[in-house]
Structure 1
Amino acid sequence: STSLSQDKHDWRDILVIGELKKSEKEIRAKDTLLQISCYVRDVFAAQPTRRFVHAFTVCGTKMEMWVFDRSGPYSSGIIDVNTDRRQFLQVFVGYTMMSDEELGLDTFIARNEDGSKSITIKESESSEELTLRLSEMLTFQHAIVCRGTTCFLTDDGEVEGVAKLSWVSDKRRPEVELLKLAAQKNVQGIARIIGHSTITSIADMRCGLTFDNKHHDFKSATSSRVSSLHQSQPSAEPCHLNIHQTSSRKCKYPGKGMQVSKQPHFASQSLRTSQQNNELTFSIQSVHTPSLFDRNGKELYDNRVLRCLVISPAGRPIYKYKSPLELLMALRDAIKAHQSLYLDGNILHRDISENNIIITNPEKTDGHSGMLIDLDLAKEVGSERSGARYRTGTMEFMAIEVLLNVDHTYRHDLESFFYVLIWQCARNSWRKLNELQRQRQRQPQDSLLREWYTGTYVKIATYKRGNMEAGGFELVLQEFPLEFECVKHLCRTIRGVLFPYGREGMIVGTPQDPKILYDPIIKAYDDAIAVIEA
């Protein structure tokens, strides 16, 4: 109708994705799946707390149904529209009659009559139910196969903090346990727990499904298209399920008292695998093959658990700094927090990024200008490997050896801190573009840092190593605007600490004594801050 065509539609309103193509040969083409993957990624970006998304493709007379969740896509197999007309009609009637729960919409966050949103969790100490009102959304992820981390500010007068919802592998220790352990060991600079809740899991949502162990192979897919499926990790391979054995399937969701709408919706590698020795004493780290590539694994998918964790204090992400001084003070204190977490708490963070460092008010946080958050990927030192299927970290900030799948150490986190600093100076500093243009400064059109997040792990590691060499590093510093000229000496100093030279060239290995790195890096920050404040 005319009125319908004039309506504005948004990815936030999409319930089911469909793709129609003329040739039935395209039903098995990887580009067809990657195309609907791009659409699904946009749905997850617009609806970040969405649990899963239904999709279908009709190519000629062939049809295939898909479901995308945080562990990847799986399909029904192909049906013929002509010979399976009844099933074809059942599919579309099913889509139009699904409830919020069956469509994969978020049912944990309550939508109140006044338009506000709230959550109900268990209070950390008393285990009593605590209802908190949500305000601004702080962050979400632009990917399908990932933790889907989404954060909201919470502020009910008495309780001010951040609510985080994320899908974490059930092979990893829950973040709430690590935060409690850190509190018991008096770790400084780490958030405190207000409350938490376990909501559902991939296994719960896929219960009743029978998979036939067949996988699509997309090895030749271009990295730009495959990025629709994943974020900073190898892609999850789509599986088949036998749709004829799943007609009685019902999704199960834990949690009592959950209000779910039952109203129907209408479908609108290796540079070097060994580490070299120089004047410092280094520990040799072993190299492991990612379990995702283990074809003999018994599990068809990684079972992720959706949890909600509310922590305090609230703060601004590090990339929202207002001055070079604020940036350096926040990073210095976050590094101190990492040092305390590692040395006092015996916990390694393993996911240092611009999303996991916050700027805080030192008057409200015992003098901390910056704090470390998000222990989803952290582990207690000395514990066994989790068995989770992916490398830990965010691509742009991954250490060189982590990209090459060397065991994660404290030094790799310090290297990630360094990349966060460089990223803020060379990339985020240009947010004030109009002001900088008036000062006749031009942002680099083809940043060297672009290669930090595109391509294979080995290519990114190779490129980063070249950037950290003396000559290459000076080219990176040239991308800093004039306002950050005062930070260049700090960057050169930290580069010298993290990447010393031995007889065989630049070293990226880990000193056995953490003080060899922590002390000079923190001192370098102190000196740079003192110069700016003078």
Structure 2
Amino acid sequence: MSSKPEPRPSQEPTGDASEAGSDSIRTELSGCVFRHVKGFYAKYFEDKSWSTAAEQAAQKVQLDVASALYRDFLELKSQGSFSAWLARLQSMSLAEGQILHHFRSPQVNTSDHPLRAIVYLVASSGRSESSSPPPAADARVFGDFSVDASDIGPESVSRFYETARQVFQARPTRRFLHGFQIRGSTMELWMFDRSGAYSSDKLDIVQRPDLLIKTMASYAMTNDEEAGFTSFIRRDGLGSYVAFGGADENETERLYLEDKPIAAPQYLVGPGTTCYAARTSTSQTAGFVVKFAWREDAIHTERELLELTKDRNVWGVIRALGWQDLGSIGGLRQGLRFNQPYDFPPAAADGRATSEGDTPIATVAGSDKDYDPLFINHAKGVLIDLDGALDLEKGPARRGELVGSEGFMAIGILTGDPHTYRHDLESLFYVFLWVAICNDREHDDERSLRHEPETSRRWGWCSMDFRSVSRNKSVDMSPEGFPRILGEFSTEFKHLKGLARELRQLLFLMRDGDIFTGSDMDQDGINRLYDGMIDAFNRSIASQTQE
């Protein structure tokens, strides 16, 4: 990965959630966007079951009519005129006898000419606009229209990418997403997956106005799998479910997923770990967790480590009931010829995890006593996410390899220090802060793990630009910055501000005018930190009990 100029370190708490989000987008884009990929159109639009029908749909539209449609687009200036134009495009593109789809445009910028609009192609469901889900959740394809031919370059691609990321956030289990950009007289077709984005050659609508009709017809005729939806999740009269077990349908067990995930990524590029609470058909409560995640081929899988914990009789670890590989990035991109990645100056990243391998699913027991032996000993919790664990008998982490969870990694780990006891204690502190900031009685009945205030400083901790995260955390853990973190505590946890201050002081000693993020490896230093944190927790518990 090419080196990039470093942003200046922050001297005090910086920015808001939007700035953190912008930095995250730039980091995700750096080195993983490829434009004008050879073989793109042939792979996704030719030799399909619907290719002939899409060609016929375009041929039915006379050339002068298609040209007029394009010319009218350049004159659009209002929401109403764009909606009418979009309806004309749709009527020309959708062939008779195909599954009905329609365009929805929830966002149109009409403040000034030229007009720019985001649209989604969704399946017609018969539901009213008010009762249907947000367009992003059901988007088969999304498009970015602009009559301004000069609206190109890094900022345009960044905005486009942000829309794609919102679609993945709305349905995090999808495998990939089609998109297209129209800028004046040119159209560029895109594909997004968990390793980044890539596009076709530019298509000239002036010279080939029928391409617009043919492409829209092709998008409308794709089936769910071709549109990127996960076929592993199915539906019946009881809801959405995944099946595991025997090869025969009658031998499989169905686990029904709750509507909202209990954990889902805010990024696009990366493992995309998404977890749903699930139940059996005969249970009213969720006793299982279904996990979707992309992995890298060269790295051990969670499955292998779970088998290892079973062989070694490790207590307090989840039990995997089944898993299945669903595909690979290599398969999605097979036959394409990539050039150099698109440059986004001045991007700032040299620590980002991209996914190049398969998509496994792990179905694990959570709280069902019939399957989970942990309840014999009345366990209060279990270890999860072993895809971020290491088998120390095989040696330490490889140089440059980061192991940890987004938002909770210690500053030293983010800057490349060898993993020590101190980093685990620092991560525990970040978990404590997350509990105090992101949880309250208002959301007790919901299963989501993220109720992050939009202005929270923690958004600056959740990025794959690891150097930026380390700087943000250093600022927030400083004596000057930490009051901002305490100010975010929810009402239910405000009484623990004193404990938070004491833990911060134990973890981040001041040395030479800066907070110390290294590890004291002598026994006195180790005992000071362990004993100090245990004592602080015990005194806080005792004081709350007395009250």
TM-score over 0.5 for the pair: yes
- Report the AA paired with residue 54 of structure 1: H
Q: SS at 1:96's partner residue?
A: helix
- Report the AA paired with residue 340 of structure 2: K
TM-score normalized by the length of structure 2 = 0.62
Aligned to 1:282: none
Given the alignment of the two structures, is residue 134 of structure 1 paired with residue 264 of structure 2, yes or no?
no
Aligned to 1:355: none
Cα distance change, pair 513–15 in 1 and its aligned pair in 2 (3 A)? farther
Aligned to 2:503: 494
Question: Which of 160, 171, 182 pairs up with 1:47?
Answer: 171
Aligned to 2:473: 464
Question: Which of 329, 334, 342 pairs up with 1:216?
Answer: 342
Given the alignment of the two structures, is residue 412 of structure 1 paired with residue 423 of structure 2, yes or no?
yes
Aligned to 1:377: 388
Written as runs of structure 1 = structure 2, the 5 A alignment for 1:77-116 is 77-84=201-208, 88-112=212-236, 114-116=237-239
TM-aligned CA deviation for residue 448 of structure 1: 5.4
Asked if 2 retains the 8 angstrom alpha-carbon contact of 1:134 and 1:155, the reply is yes
Distance 1:478 1:464 in 2: 16
Distance 2:314 2:510 in 1: 33
- Report the AA paired with residue 357 of structure 2: R
Aligned to 2:242: 119
Written as runs of structure 1 = structure 2, the 5 A alignment for 1:271-290 is 290=351
Cα distance change, pair 59–505 in 1 and its aligned pair in 2 (3 A)? closer
TM-aligned CA deviation for residue 405 of structure 1: 3.4
Q: SS at 1:521's partner residue?
A: helix
Question: Which of 351, 357, 363 pairs up with 1:304?
Answer: 357
Aligned to 2:90: none
Cα distance change, pair 431–460 in 1 and its aligned pair in 2 (3 A)? farther
Aligned to 2:320: 193
Which string of whole-angstrom CA distances, capped at 9 and with x for unpartnered residues, describes residues 413-455 of structure 1?
321220121232245349589xxxxxxxxx9997655654589
Cα distance change, pair 31–488 in 1 and its aligned pair in 2 (3 A)? closer
Distance 1:40 1:445 in 2: 20
Given the alignment of the two structures, is residue 33 of structure 1 paired with residue 44 of structure 2, yes or no?
no
TM-aligned CA deviation for residue 63 of structure 1: 1.4
Q: CA RMSD in A?
A: 4.0
Which string of whole-angstrom CA distances, capped at 9 and with x for unpartnered residues, describes residues 123-182 of structure 1?
8xxxx8543333343232232112222222222258931111111222321111112222
TM-score normalized by the length of structure 1 = 0.64
TM-aligned CA deviation for residue 373 of structure 1: 1.7
Aligned to 2:332: 205
Which string of whole-angstrom CA distances, capped at 9 and with x for unpartnered residues, describes residues 72-109 of structure 1?
10111212223345655543332122121111111011
Aligned to 1:324: none
Distance 2:443 2:326 in 1: 40
Q: SS at 2:200's partner residue?
A: strand
Given the alignment of the two structures, is residue 163 of structure 1 paired with residue 290 of structure 2, yes or no?
yes
TM-aligned CA deviation for residue 502 of structure 1: 5.6
Written as runs of structure 1 = structure 2, the 5 A alignment for 1:238-387 is 290=351, 302-314=355-367, 364=375, 366-381=377-392, 383=395, 385=397
- Report the AA paired with residue 272 of structure 2: G
Asked if 2 retains the 8 angstrom alpha-carbon contact of 1:71 and 1:304, the reply is no
TM-aligned CA deviation for residue 22 of structure 1: 1.8
Distance 2:243 2:453 in 1: 47
Aligned to 1:533: 545
Aligned to 1:76: 200
As a proportion of its length, which structure holds more strand?
Answer: 1
Aligned to 1:425: 436
Aligned to 2:61: none
TM-aligned CA deviation for residue 54 of structure 1: 0.4
Q: How many residues align?
A: 399
Asked if 1 retains the 8 angstrom alpha-carbon contact of 2:326 and 2:361, the reply is yes
Asked if 2 retains the 8 angstrom alpha-carbon contact of 1:167 and 1:304, the reply is yes
Aligned to 1:12: 137
Distance 2:150 2:206 in 1: 16
Which string of whole-angstrom CA distances, capped at 9 and with x for unpartnered residues, describes residues 248-272 of structure 1?
xxxxxxxxxxxxxxxxxxxxxxxxx
Asked if 1 retains the 8 angstrom alpha-carbon contact of 2:255 and 2:279, the reply is yes
Distance 1:97 1:479 in 2: 48
Cα distance change, pair 455–387 in 1 and its aligned pair in 2 (3 A)? closer
Cα distance change, pair 87–463 in 1 and its aligned pair in 2 (3 A)? closer
Asked if 2 retains the 8 angstrom alpha-carbon contact of 1:190 and 1:371, the reply is yes
Cα distance change, pair 524–38 in 1 and its aligned pair in 2 (3 A)? same
TM-aligned CA deviation for residue 313 of structure 1: 1.8
Asked if 2 retains the 8 angstrom alpha-carbon contact of 1:122 and 1:196, the reply is no
Asked if 2 retains the 8 angstrom alpha-carbon contact of 1:291 and 1:387, the reply is no
Question: Which of 302, 311, 321 pairs up with 1:175?
Answer: 302
Aligned to 1:335: none
Distance 2:160 2:358 in 1: 25
Written as runs of structure 1 = structure 2, the 5 A alignment for 1:463-482 is 463-470=472-479, 472-473=481-482, 476-477=485-486, 479-480=488-489
Asked if 1 retains the 8 angstrom alpha-carbon contact of 2:390 and 2:396, the reply is no
Distance 1:488 1:291 in 2: 33
TM-aligned CA deviation for residue 67 of structure 1: 0.3
TM-aligned CA deviation for residue 407 of structure 1: 3.9
TM-aligned CA deviation for residue 461 of structure 1: 2.7
The structure having more radius of gyration, on CA atoms, is 2
Given the alignment of the two structures, is residue 66 of structure 1 paired with residue 190 of structure 2, yes or no?
yes
- Percent of aligned pairs sharing the same letter: 31
Distance 2:311 2:320 in 1: 12
Distance 1:430 1:155 in 2: 25
Cα distance change, pair 533–177 in 1 and its aligned pair in 2 (3 A)? farther
Distance 1:363 1:82 in 2: 67
TM-aligned CA deviation for residue 34 of structure 1: 1.9
Q: Mind listing any 5+ residue stretches in structure 1 that lack a counterpart?
A: 224-233, 235-288, 293-300, 316-360, 434-442
TM-aligned CA deviation for residue 219 of structure 1: 2.5
Cα distance change, pair 362–486 in 1 and its aligned pair in 2 (3 A)? farther
TM-aligned CA deviation for residue 116 of structure 1: 1.6
